[in-house]
Structure 1
Amino acid sequence: MSVIILIFLFIASLLGVIKSADIFVDSIVDIGGALRIPQIMLGVTVAAAGTSLPEFGSAMIAVLTGNPDLGVGVVIGSNIWNIAGIIGISTTLSCAVTTNQDEIKRDGLFGLLSIILLLIFMIMGMVGFLAGAVLLLLYAIYLRILIKKQRRYYLNHPQVEGEIKPKTVLYAITGFIGLVILCRVLVYSAVEIAEIASVPEMIIGLFALAIGTSLAELVVAVNSARKHMCSLSLGTVLGSNIFNILIGIGIPSLFVKIPVEPLSVILDAPVLIAVTLILMYFMWTDMELRRTEGASLLIIYILYASVRIYLT
């Protein structure tokens, strides 16, 4: 009976997290639209950070409640799924994802630098205050670059700002509060299920929570791709990965030292670096990701998941 209740709590809280994220993202995207923020800027900032809140909330709560393996697993697993799974699915089922050199250089390289820095700290066993400070500093630099780009856009495209409705702001606040509360329930039920089923917390984080909390990104990416807003699709995923590592690991590590699982050092983090490089290569060749390339990313994810579960 307790297992059934926990599974119900896990599913219900997961659906609640997704709905809360949906409400929050819709609200802040409306606010961004009223402020005339460019599509790609919405992708790498507003939508990316908004859709990353389930992962960030789950990781933060997991670390601070004494389940750091679960938190690290959520972040790394979610980023691998974002690239190999979400981009692969959105490309395979809808339209070819397009990009430009500036986007690859900025978002792609920052995403790559983020995981390389995290891997270095993991190898040194120093995912603590120093690592958190460095990761947050890098995110501040990233945001500064985005702000400069947005200012240049406004100089070249002067527009009148729209009206931000109080109801939209209220929805954004409600969605955020829902995320905080439901992420706590989600982590609690996941930990309890893992203990009863004798499943390592890292596996729960890498797959169950990572994929579950990334459903918001999947919805945003696929819907935007189907509407042929493919720059939003790519920007959301790349921006989300940057946010997940620099904020999702950076902030918790300021408060507690996060232990590192050896398999994460030799498999999980290197796989994330590899899929990021593969994505950048695919996009750099002709600034477009086609169905066959998207399908290859999905195959890579399936192979990785199979090996990871087998080795655990």
Structure 2
Amino acid sequence: MFFWLILVALFCIALVIVIKSANVFVDNLVEIGRFLGISPIILGVTVAAAGTSLPEFGSAIISVFTGNPDMGVGVVIGSNIWNICGIIGVSALLSCFITTNQEEIKRDGFMGLLAALVLISFMLLGFINQITGIVLILMYGAYLYFLIKNQQKYYNLHHHVDKAPEKTFNYKQLVWTILGFTGLIISCRLLVYSAVELAQLANIPEMIVGLFALAIGTSLAEMAVAITSAMKKMCSLSLGTVLGSNIFNILMGIGIPALFIEIPVDPLSVALDAPVLIGVTSLLLYFMRSDMKLTRVEGSLLLGIYAVYAFLRIIVFS
């Protein structure tokens, strides 16, 4: 019992450190990028796409490299399902409705669906190998290029060019960047370790822990940003944050470890988890295209779908 309490405490502490370390790392890395003269467009796009996904990304990579591939894949798929059903669902409930536009649907919505379809296509082989990793990373590179080109057009239309004030290099930012990155790696390792130990003690499959405990826990940053955005009626930020995170999770969270290690695939993930991800992504696109907004009713439906999925995955099929 005492060991249980220690593991639960370690899991919670590691989770807090993971989220805080990711924020410290990204914030200071952006400042260093500005000092080095990196375009604010590139910084904005990459931080928006990857910043809040670092906890899931780090947990997935550490899980795969420490011999827990089920947990790694579970974090990615589970986080994406929760992002759509949980985060967007709650956001829609809080803000009455979330508006959207055609550009967001075409850019982020369909890319998220394409990434999920490509992933399940490779999962049908029974493993995810180096070829899969290369394809996924190339897809993310193409997506980033498209984002940067679009942002460049917007920037040219709405901003005039001013000479940027010279900045002196702040070594504290470099130190905090290194500390943030180190904290992220160590805390992700502790998070995965405690999750694996808890799963073994409770006789729970690692995939279940990845799909739910790690997925929801590491998505707390997106949950906070999305809900705050929705309550302030900043609707596009709410949807853009979640969809961008889902794309990064699949293409990089699976793509990078697949370059180094062949990842076996749980047959139930192919039969249930991945189809649910594709289904809720398609449903979200349908809601977004039908009347350019997500209502409270549609948000409630997304939450209901997640509840049914969790019941089936944890109670019926585990």
- Same fold (TM > 0.5): yes
Higher mean alpha-carbon deviation, 293-302 vs 243-252, is at 293-302
**Structure 2 residue 180 is matched with structure 1 residue 179:** no
Per the alignment, do residues 133 and 8 of structure 1 end up closer, same or farther by CA in structure 2, a change over 3 Å counting?
A: same
Question: Could you tell me which amino acid in structure 2 is paired with residue 66 of structure 1?
Answer: G
User: C-alpha separation between the residues in 1 aligned to 2:165 and 2:301?
Assistant: 42
Instruction: Tell me if the contact between 1:95 and 1:230 (Cα under 8 Å) persists in the aligned partners.
Output: no
> 1:142-161 alignment to 2 at 5 Å?
142-159=143-160, 160=162
> 1:14-33 alignment to 2 at 5 Å?
14-24=15-25
Higher mean alpha-carbon deviation, 11-20 vs 129-138, is at 11-20
> 1:92-241 alignment to 2 at 5 Å?
92-159=93-160, 160=162, 166=170, 171-241=176-246
Instruction: Provide the alpha-carbon RMSD of the alignment.
Output: 2.4
Alignment-derived partner of residue 301 in structure 2: 296
Alignment-derived partner of residue 49 in structure 1: 50
Instruction: Tell me if the contact between 1:99 and 1:288 (Cα under 8 Å) persists in the aligned partners.
Output: yes
User: C-alpha separation between the residues in 2 aligned to 1:126 and 1:247?
Assistant: 17
User: C-alpha separation between the residues in 1 aligned to 2:187 and 2:313?
Assistant: 28
Alignment-derived partner of residue 65 in structure 1: 66
User: C-alpha separation between the residues in 2 aligned to 1:205 and 1:258?
Assistant: 15
Quote how far apart the aligned CAs of 1:229 are: 1.7
User: C-alpha separation between the residues in 2 aligned to 1:25 and 1:220?
Assistant: 15
Higher mean alpha-carbon deviation, 138-147 vs 218-227, is at 218-227
Specify the SS of the correspondent of 1:124. coil
**Structure 2 residue 279 is matched with structure 1 residue 260:** no
Question: Could you tell me which amino acid in structure 2 is paired with residue 150 of structure 1?
Answer: Q
Question: Could you tell me which amino acid in structure 2 is paired with residue 152 of structure 1?
Answer: K
User: C-alpha separation between the residues in 1 aligned to 2:31 and 2:87?
Assistant: 23
Instruction: Tell me if the contact between 1:21 and 1:216 (Cα under 8 Å) persists in the aligned partners.
Output: no
User: C-alpha separation between the residues in 2 aligned to 1:95 and 1:25?
Assistant: 32
User: C-alpha separation between the residues in 1 aligned to 2:166 and 2:97?
Assistant: 34
User: C-alpha separation between the residues in 1 aligned to 2:307 and 2:166?
Assistant: 45
Task: Give the number of aligned pairs.
Answer: 309
Quote how far apart the aligned CAs of 1:93 are: 1.6
Per the alignment, do residues 106 and 89 of structure 1 end up closer, same or farther by CA in structure 2, a change over 3 Å counting?
A: same
Per the alignment, do residues 199 and 258 of structure 1 end up closer, same or farther by CA in structure 2, a change over 3 Å counting?
A: same
Percent identity of equivalent pairs: 62
User: C-alpha separation between the residues in 1 aligned to 2:26 and 2:223?
Assistant: 13
Higher mean alpha-carbon deviation, 116-125 vs 67-76, is at 116-125
Q: TM-score, normalised by structure 1?
A: 0.91
Quote how far apart the aligned CAs of 1:125 are: 2.0
Instruction: Tell me if the contact between 2:94 and 2:230 (Cα under 8 Å) persists in the aligned partners.
Output: no
Specify the SS of the correspondent of 2:253. coil
Per the alignment, do residues 305 and 135 of structure 1 end up closer, same or farther by CA in structure 2, a change over 3 Å counting?
A: same
Alignment-derived partner of residue 82 in structure 1: 83
Q: Deviation string for 1:106-159 (max 9, x for gaps)?
A: 111111111111101110124010100000010011011011101111220124
Quote how far apart the aligned CAs of 1:228 are: 2.0
The correspondence for 2:312, drawn from 300, 303, 307, is 307
User: C-alpha separation between the residues in 2 aligned to 1:96 and 1:227?
Assistant: 12
Specify the SS of the correspondent of 1:66. coil
User: C-alpha separation between the residues in 2 aligned to 1:169 and 1:233?
Assistant: 30
Instruction: Tell me if the contact between 2:130 and 2:260 (Cα under 8 Å) persists in the aligned partners.
Output: yes
**Structure 2 residue 213 is matched with structure 1 residue 244:** no
**Structure 2 residue 284 is matched with structure 1 residue 279:** yes
User: C-alpha separation between the residues in 1 aligned to 2:177 and 2:245?
Assistant: 18
Higher mean alpha-carbon deviation, 28-37 vs 64-73, is at 28-37
Q: Deviation string for 1:227-246 (max 9, x for gaps)?
A: 22211111110000000000
Per the alignment, do residues 32 and 305 of structure 1 end up closer, same or farther by CA in structure 2, a change over 3 Å counting?
A: farther
Question: Could you tell me which amino acid in structure 1 is paired with residue 63 of structure 2?
Answer: A
Per the alignment, do residues 47 and 155 of structure 1 end up closer, same or farther by CA in structure 2, a change over 3 Å counting?
A: closer
In structure 2, runs of 5+ residues without a counterpart are none
Specify the SS of the correspondent of 2:263. coil
